[in-house]
Amino acid sequence: MTVSPHHREITLRGLILGALITVVFTASNVYLGLRIGLTFASSIPAAVISMAVLRLLGRGTILENNMVQSQASAAGTLSCVFATFPGLVMAGYWHSFPFWQTAGLSLAGGVLGVLFTIPLRHALVTRSALPYPEGVAAAEILRAGAEAQSGQGLRALLAGGLVSAVLSFATSALRLLADGITLTASAGTAVFQFSASFSLALVGAGYLVGLAGGLAMLTGGVLAWGIGVPWLSSHTPNPAHLPAAAFAHDLWLHKIRFIGAGSIAVASLWTLVELLPPVLNGIRQSLRPAKGTTATHERDLSPWSMAALLAVSAFGLWWFFRDFLGPMTTGAGALVGAAVLFCIVFGFLMAAACGYMAGIVGSSSSPISGIIIVGAVLSALMILGLEALGLVPPALMANEQKLATAFTILVLSAITATIAISNDNLQDLKTGQLVGASPWKQEAVLIVGCVVGSLVIPPVLNLLYQAYGFAGAMPRPGMDPSRALSAPQPALITLITQGIFSGTLDWSMLGAGLVLGCVLVAVDRLLRRRGLSLPPLGVAVGLYLPASTSLTLAGGAVLGWALRTWARRSAAQESETQASQTRGTMLASGFIVGESLTGVAVAAFSGALGHDDALSIASTLPTAAPDLLGVLAFCAACAWFARRLMGQRNRTVSP
């Protein structure tokens, strides 16, 4: 039987195009995640790029485009392992990222994530009324893929990327522009600090996150730097006599951030509690064989294929866990087996929770970071429990529990890949449902995306580490620590894991965070009764991230809200509002992609030369010039972004 060209889904050119987009977005997300702790959803920009390219090649179909965006989206999401793998370097166990271990664990965890979405698809997608905002948006873009619209979307993505890339190059390579501004003031012994980042990627991320998420993060930043740091600085000794700015940063790093971690844990657990009944009901429904599902648009991968992939993934986890422990210790069979079982059971439960949450608020807002923290605590407690039973080799706890800390982070890396993929794949399956895709083909392509993404992640991690280093873990002496990637999630996971094993974890700060998290949940519940919202997880993340990140991201959210409001009020038709929102999404995505890819390119150049200031012209400039130029350039870029949307609208409605 010949497949109609109008119904082609998986094609060789589509797989190649998906792989190329995968490389771009995976590298971008790894860089962005290590820099600010956030990633961006790649489904929409991938769909627009696919439509434009396949139209140039001729005979592109909506189903083929859907497969390309599904593949690219899966691989881009797999980059969430940036939240754990660098912790092995920060813990002093790795000095680079071994290709096969990094890629193998990412792939094994990612394939498990795809498999877990299959039994959840019927309950959480087909038979569910969940909105899936990003999945529906991607489907609408695919449906509305007229040549003019897709071309405009691609031009907007490229324009935003070009502006962001130019500013990023002038900042990170030439050092012509400052990357932010920090103001510190004292009132008695209390220290106050204001920071803002001149990052267009953060502006774009704020635009995509939305007003509620942006204001929640701003609230967290105000709690941290407007209340927490001033109070602690006035009640905490400063025996090292650090300058005010350094003392404030030290308090945030070692105190406030743990409060944020406790708040993240509570907010995540509350989310799980809210989701538990519908998730359990969905699992029960998914385990009941549905009748009349032989149609192509209802067929999943066969049970035999799923069983084989599950066995291969479990064996892969077992192999890499055993190989990791092999050089250091023997007799770790029980530990390895327990770790594999933990990855499968905990991974499935968290995949269901994250998938349901993604269906409500979107993949970008799903509480993956908090769940990783919960996983870190549970994994460490599992190892301590096995030790109490005498099932852990003594070498694991030797040398200040270095191997135990590293193994915990390794297990978390596989779990992170699993829940991140499950979180994103349900969005992709919703898109496929809306455009009439074949689920089993889409699931197969998602696995292909995991394969490609796992191959890209290790070299990108190595490249970024050698060029910039991570905060507190520099690859070579003499590097500029101010240019190091903050890697916020890996640093926090490492601190928590080391603290649990050594018994030195500052439980007082975590306890304060747990109490604050309960308060934030209560406040959000009260606000919901009035039709308002203050996402507890967003506030907790704002406590945890640097102030410069929270403030600039909130600024992008407010700017996006203002532009969307203006577009709704001035649009004559609903289609014009939708076009403006799509254009804004593509420009914001371009900001993120342009800055991220420039960061990767500068990293490659710096790594090749062995130092990170080869192109710097800062020494030829007056001292205050980079700060002034940075402010002007950043404001000009934001104004260009606003005028691009408003000007486009004016041209649309003018006679």
Q: What is the mean pLDDT of residues 604-615?
A: 63
| Segment holding 357, helix H or strand E | helix 333-361
Please indicate, yes or no, if residue 38 is contained in any of the structural domains.
Answer: yes
Q: What is the mean pLDDT of residues 555-579?
A: 78
**Cα 531 to Cα 515: distance, rounded to the nearest angstrom:** 25
Q: How many CA atoms lie within 13 A of 264 on its CB side?
A: 29
| Number of separate domains in the chain | 1
**Cα 638 to Cα 30: distance, rounded to the nearest angstrom:** 24
Residue predicted with more confidence, 370 or 439: 439
End-to-end Cα spacing for the chain: 52
Please indicate, yes or no, if residue 452 is contained in any of the structural domains.
Answer: yes
Please indicate, yes or no, if residue 542 is contained in any of the structural domains.
Answer: no
pLDDT bucket at 619, cuts 50 / 70 / 90: confident
In this predicted structure, what is the pLDDT of residue 653? 42
**Cα 576 to Cα 562: distance, rounded to the nearest angstrom:** 16
**Cα 626 to Cα 617: distance, rounded to the nearest angstrom:** 10
Please indicate, yes or no, if residue 550 is contained in any of the structural domains.
Answer: no
pLDDT bucket at 515, cuts 50 / 70 / 90: very high
> Which of 58-72, 191-205, 404-418 has the weakest average pLDDT?
58-72
In this predicted structure, what is the pLDDT of residue 387? 86
In this predicted structure, what is the pLDDT of residue 655? 38
For 429, the token pair is: 């399956």
In this predicted structure, what is the pLDDT of residue 93? 86
Q: Contact, 48 vs 59, CB < 8 A?
A: no
**Cα 115 to Cα 425: distance, rounded to the nearest angstrom:** 10
Q: Residue 180's beta-bridge partner residues?
A: 197
Q: Contact, 432 vs 70, CB < 8 A?
A: yes
Domain extent, residue 174, equals 1-181+191-201+340-514+590-655
Q: Encode pLDDT of 90-103 as tens digits.
A: 888 888 899 999 99
Looking at the predicted structure, is the pLDDT value of residue 393 above 80?
Answer: yes
Q: What is the mean pLDDT of residues 434-446?
A: 83
**Cα 286 to Cα 348: distance, rounded to the nearest angstrom:** 13
In this predicted structure, what is the pLDDT of residue 636? 94
Please indicate, yes or no, if residue 360 is contained in any of the structural domains.
Answer: yes
Secondary structure letter of residue 653 according to DSSP: H
Please indicate, yes or no, if residue 430 is contained in any of the structural domains.
Answer: yes
Residue predicted with more confidence, 111 or 606: 111
Q: Encode pLDDT of 136-166 as tens digits.
A: 666 766 765 544 445 666 678 788 889 998 9
Looking at the predicted structure, is the pLDDT value of residue 359 above 80?
Answer: no
Q: Judge if pTM exceeds 0.75.
A: no
Please indicate, yes or no, if residue 5 is contained in any of the structural domains.
Answer: yes
